[in-house]
Structure 1
């Protein structure tokens, strides 16, 4: 996946599902890694990271 596609998809997921989209992306990556689909898992990890950046730092 290209960088622009990852960020677009990450933005759409965050808008649609909020913070739970980050957990879902992590779950998808774990499942794909377990199946040996490492390239797809890498994309999901990248999407997860992009969403974390978009969300910003935790506030206390």
Structure 2
């Protein structure tokens, strides 16, 4: 399991490089891991996805 700091470092790097597409990419990675039965890896990708969503901030209306 990766540390909280690592999660945020990975999330920030992905978000800076890919923008909002990075959130979808993390979700796809999590889904792929779930499909192969790797629940621990999937949980980490979901955590990274959540961290990027927090970076994105609230939705604008």
User: Which TM bucket (shorter chain)?
Assistant: over 0.9
Q: CA RMSD in A?
A: 0.4
Which TM-score applies when normalising by structure 2?
0.96
Q: Describe the SS at the equivalent of 2:17.
A: helix
Q: Which runs of 4+ in 1 moved over 6 A?
A: none
The aligned length equals 60
Which TM-score applies when normalising by structure 1?
0.98
Which residue matches 1:24?
A: 25
- Structure 2 unaligned segments of length 5 or more: list them: none
- Structure 1 unaligned segments of length 5 or more: list them: none
Cα distance in 2 for residues equivalent to 1:11 and 1:5:
10
